[in-house]
Chains A and B, each alone.
Chain A
């Protein structure tokens, strides 16, 4: 159910820049995220990926350029505003409470309730069932939604966070290095859910430093290096090898290879 990509982008950054004091963290970066598409942001450490996320998530405001949501130019003043406008960000150090059961985590902060007056209570059955069903829909078959979320693997926790964002009506999903700390198999699992979120019609902004992971799912690739954009390609325009080469610094890698071979 991939939606046509010709529609107005849900998120469009054009020529965005951001300064911290006298440090240029980001300059001239453009990015579009459309419903049903995955936009990958690739870059090494210090390339400006985190700054980019913080602008989209409403933690920081951009200094130059424009940020348009659904075609409307805007500035996000807080993470809450970003959330209210349908932008859900899943951070590397996930927003989960490890000792709490999965279902409590899933609904944390937006608990459905039933009953009236002093007898108003959480709809626990509904919460349990929904958590199970929503995770199943994303392809996660949990043994027990009552287990503390801390007992899940890093990949599964990422998936729960993604499923939560999808369930609560996010239109744009921003993922901060979701596969960074994971093994090969776990990364595969997470990538599957990223694709599942795309198929649900979400616009996904996928931040990573792994071109192989990016190329598996990405529709567009934005390359960052030291705060500037060094490439902005659609999938048809670039091969994995080229992406890897550009990502790894192209010529720098060649130099490194020569240097190492001399030894």
Chain B
């Protein structure tokens, strides 16, 4: 394309080529990365391309992806949530314990868990807005408190580190079908979390790109003061984003519970970073205001392919963390470049 295609408004502006426009997409870097990782393991591990292996990879990706989506939205809104990982465990414990203690239908526990987990998310958002402290500090506090409560309450009520089995309780089968069943398609088993993941990505993309709330999410992350000045409800937007993370934690927590029938109270620590890394690899800026839900899904897919690919290639799984670190660095460098390009004042 030549500059003559552009309207004569400013001769210094050259028309962007389609390639350049593509480069401006937040998820582009992660897509290229995902293809590279896929090809790499397709050659390195013979069993990687088998349908059953791909189903395993998708399952691993979906368990991360379900949380990476709301975490990505939150990051676009300019905040972190370090409590996201342990909140999954809290949600599972809440569900399990409340059904067991009340000897009720497990769906009652699932409902209680939903309400309390959403309240936890709202608490994070509320504290952030009221104190104006960095979200890093607020959610680090929630993170530690939740770890303590997960272990403490489980010990207090069940006297061990795990909950009692709820497998023989009413409603268990139907809850398992919703949160942890397996669907066989063309002879290959797929976990239902993959469906949850796809639905969440689609929903989040729609919210982000097509609704007013999405516009507000970009704005509060990109320039909070400017957003407030034109009448965007900044506090409401942020509390909503934290409740979105809580919703993800609830879905993941119920999956965790109904995959087995007990929950280990110490689980989930460290996962919050995995979600953040997936979102960052997927093109979310650490500083907020930029990113996409699809990107977070691709980030989660890279995670799933790497963690399972190493196993299929029969390497020492310790190398997983190395790959992760390298990819995070690459992704962040790419993002920094994108931001510079996008913010450059010509």
Q: Are A109 and B7 in contact (CB under 8 A)?
A: no
Q: Are A111 and B215 in contact (CB under 8 A)?
A: yes
Whether a CB of chain B sits under 8 angstroms from the CB of A150 is yes
Q: Are A122 and B215 in contact (CB under 8 A)?
A: yes
Which of A80, A109, A147, A150 contacts B345 (CB under 8 A)?
Answer: A150
Within B1-29, which residues are at the interface with A (CB < 8 Å)? Answer: 6-10, 13, 15-16
Q: Are B218 and A97 in contact (CB under 8 A)?
A: yes
Given contacts A108-B219, A122-B211, A151-B346, contact A142 B9 (CB under 8 A): yes
Q: Are A97 and B345 in contact (CB under 8 A)?
A: no
Tell me the complex Cα distance, A104–B221, Å.
Answer: 14
Nearest Cβ in chain A — how far from B97, in angstroms?
A: 33
Nearest Cβ in chain A — how far from B42, in angstroms?
A: 36
Chain A residues contacting B211 (CB-CB under 8 Å) are: 120-122
Chain B residues contacting A98 (CB-CB under 8 Å) are: 222-223, 289, 342-343
Given contacts A99-B289, A99-B290, A108-B230, contact A154 B345 (CB under 8 A): yes
Q: Are B232 and A109 in contact (CB under 8 A)?
A: yes
Chain B residues contacting A109 (CB-CB under 8 Å) are: 219, 227, 230-232
Within B187-219, which residues are at the interface with A (CB < 8 Å)? Answer: 206, 210-212, 214-215, 218-219
**0/1 string, A139-164, CB within 8 A of B gives 1:** 01111100110111110000000000
Tell me the complex Cα distance, A183–B281, Å.
Answer: 39
Nearest Cβ in chain B — how far from A75, in angstroms?
A: 21
Nearest Cβ in chain B — how far from A116, in angstroms?
A: 13
Tell me the complex Cα distance, A166–B230, Å.
Answer: 14
Query: In the complex, which residue of chain A has the Cβ closest to the Cβ of B206?
Result: A121
Q: Are A141 and B227 in contact (CB under 8 A)?
A: no
Chain A residues contacting B10 (CB-CB under 8 Å) are: 153
Q: Are B289 and A100 in contact (CB under 8 A)?
A: yes
Given contacts A108-B230, A142-B9, contact A99 B345 (CB under 8 A): no
Interface size on B, residues (CB 8 A): 34
Chain B residues contacting A152 (CB-CB under 8 Å) are: 345-346
Chain A residues contacting B214 (CB-CB under 8 Å) are: 122
Whether a CB of chain A sits under 8 angstroms from the CB of B226 is yes
Chain A residues contacting B9 (CB-CB under 8 Å) are: 140-143
Chain B residues contacting A108 (CB-CB under 8 Å) are: 215, 219, 226-227, 230, 232
Nearest Cβ in chain B — how far from A140, in angstroms?
A: 7
Given contacts A143-B9, A143-B13, A151-B346, contact A95 B215 (CB under 8 A): no
Whether a CB of chain B sits under 8 angstroms from the CB of A9 is no
Within A55-103, which residues are at the interface with B (CB < 8 Å)? Answer: 79-80, 83, 94-100
Whether a CB of chain A sits under 8 angstroms from the CB of B164 is no
Among B215, B285, B290, B339, the one with the most A-chain Cβ atoms within 10 Å of its Cβ is: B215
Chain A interface: which size bin? 20 to 34
Which of A97, A140, A153 contacts B219 (CB under 8 A)?
Answer: A97
Given contacts A95-B229, A109-B230, A143-B7, contact A104 B343 (CB under 8 A): no
Chain A residues contacting B6 (CB-CB under 8 Å) are: 143
Query: In the complex, which residue of chain B has the Cβ closest to the Cβ of A142?
Result: B9
Chain B residues contacting A100 (CB-CB under 8 Å) are: 215, 218-219, 222, 289
Query: In the complex, which residue of chain A has the Cβ closest to the Cβ of B15?
Result: A143
Query: In the complex, which residue of chain B has the Cβ closest to the Cβ of A121?
Result: B210
Whether a CB of chain A sits under 8 angstroms from the CB of B333 is no
Whether a CB of chain A sits under 8 angstroms from the CB of B133 is no
**0/1 string, B86-123, CB within 8 A of A gives 1:** 00000000000000000000000000000000000000
Among B13, B219, B223, B231, the one with the most A-chain Cβ atoms within 10 Å of its Cβ is: B223
Among A97, A99, A107, A113, the one with the most B-chain Cβ atoms within 10 Å of its Cβ is: A99
Nearest Cβ in chain B — how far from A110, in angstroms?
A: 7
Nearest Cβ in chain A — how far from B214, in angstroms?
A: 8
Tell me the complex Cα distance, A111–B218, Å.
Answer: 13
Nearest Cβ in chain A — how far from B206, in angstroms?
A: 8
Among A109, A113, A141, A144, the one with the most B-chain Cβ atoms within 10 Å of its Cβ is: A109
**0/1 string, B315-346, CB within 8 A of A gives 1:** 00000000000000000000000010011111
Nearest Cβ in chain B — how far from A155, in angstroms?
A: 10
Which of A83, A141, A147, A148 contacts B7 (CB under 8 A)?
Answer: A141
Nearest Cβ in chain A — how far from B217, in angstroms?
A: 10
Query: In the complex, which residue of chain A has the Cβ closest to the Cβ of B212?
Result: A111
Q: Are B345 and A151 in contact (CB under 8 A)?
A: yes
Tell me the complex Cα distance, A96–B218, Å.
Answer: 12
Which of A97, A107, A113 contacts B226 (CB under 8 A)?
Answer: A97
Tell me the complex Cα distance, A99–B343, Å.
Answer: 6
Tell me the complex Cα distance, A126–B285, Å.
Answer: 29
Chain B residues contacting A80 (CB-CB under 8 Å) are: 231
Please provide the 7 A-B residue pairs with the shortest distance between their CB atoms, ordered closest to farther.
A109-B230, A97-B222, A109-B231, A141-B9, A95-B226, A150-B343, A97-B223
Interface residues of A (CB under 8 A from B): 79-80, 83, 94-100, 104, 107-111, 113, 120-122, 124, 140-144, 147-148, 150-154
| 11 additional contacts (CB under 8 A) given A148-B343, A151-B343 | A97-B222, A98-B342, A108-B230, A109-B227, A109-B232, A110-B231, A111-B215, A121-B210, A121-B211, A147-B16, A150-B343
